[in-house]
Structure 1
């Protein structure tokens, strides 16, 4: 059964590569990722054993469901970048931050005007740099904002990265900008407004306690 599932996964990925028009230069990267998984299964897999739950600590960087949901709401989930996101998310879940960065970089090389890919590159680089908004991460976010200056996604996720490191004051202007760029009635506007209100409340409480 295990080998059947691997074959189905490989066939699905191959179809997505064609449908989503992923550049052929990246096909070998995707193939190597699948072969790595297959090799690990061949080496250690025992399909006759009963399934056992995997301990949470074995997954170093599980994708944040809230982050993924907001990314889908702002950038969509069926665009040309979705294949890159999917592979990168799996790599991050395995703690392979460098591999994830290479995947998203491949997407940026193929579609240099795709703000979603630039924004995600900023996120992946930050995770690779131990969660910090490093100069390389900041550059990617800024490039996303240059490519799509009227899109709320890049400033919001840059603010998210700052919040993740506890730099709340640095995050606030980006969330304010993201809210201003979100038209009334859009699905993500309420999400941004809610988080901005919580951020302001937290900052106010921190100042009052000094």
Structure 2
């Protein structure tokens, strides 16, 4: 069952690349991500076992559908630089944090002023470095802010990294800035405001 699901995923991905008219130069990157996932599954998985529900990663929230949706609404999805982030997502799901970082760095070599990729690099580095806002991760987030100072995404995802690291006051500051930068009619503004309100409640309960 596992191999069948993997084959169907490969076929669906190939169809999506054609339908979305993704640049053929990027196909090899996506293909590499699929092959990496297949290799990891063959090495560590159990293809002969029956399927069972996956357990969520409570510590990192890497596969949180709500965050993926929010990221796409803030930064877009059907762009050339987004393909590198999609590849990095696949590598993260396979547990290969280092390759996820390298995939985004490869994208930045081609799109050095991509706010999406700098923001993604900050998130990937924070995850790679043990779920902390390490100096390299902070540099990437700050570079994203320098590239697009009026965009709320770098500040929001910097705040998310601080939440995961347990630094709620720093997260509160970043999310407040992200909310202030969000246009009134943006679909994601309410999402940011809701998370900021929940964080404020948590800080109040902690006496912060």
Query: Once structures 1 and 2 are overlaid, which stretch shifts more, 81-90 or 95-104?
Result: 81-90
Measured in 2, the distance between the counterparts of 1:110 and 1:180 equals: 31
Partner of 1:56, secondary structure, is coil
The answer to whether the 8 Å contact 2:37/2:90 transfers is no
The answer to whether the 8 Å contact 2:150/2:181 transfers is yes
Task: State TM-score, norm by structure 1.
Answer: 0.80
Shift of 1:66: 2.3
Shift of 1:79: 2.2
Give the equivalent residue in structure 2 for 1:69. 69
1:2-17 pair list within 5 angstroms: 2=4, 5=8, 8=11, 11-12=14-15, 15=18
1:1-210 pair list within 5 angstroms: 2=4, 5=8, 8=11, 11-12=14-15, 15=18, 19-21=21-23, 24=25, 29-37=29-37, 51-53=50-52, 55-56=54-55, 62-207=62-207
Partner of 1:19, secondary structure, is coil
Root-mean-square deviation (CA, aligned residues, Å) is 3.3
**Larger Cα Rg: Structure 1 or Structure 2?**
1
Measured in 2, the distance between the counterparts of 1:118 and 1:40 equals: 27
Give the unaligned 5+ runs of structure 1: none
**CA offsets per residue over residues 109-129 of structure 1, 9 Å max, x none?**
111111011001100111111
Shift of 1:57: 7.5
Task: State TM-score, norm by structure 2.
Answer: 0.81
Measured in 1, the distance between the counterparts of 2:120 and 2:196 equals: 21
Give the unaligned 5+ runs of structure 2: none
How many residues end up aligned between the 2 structures?
204
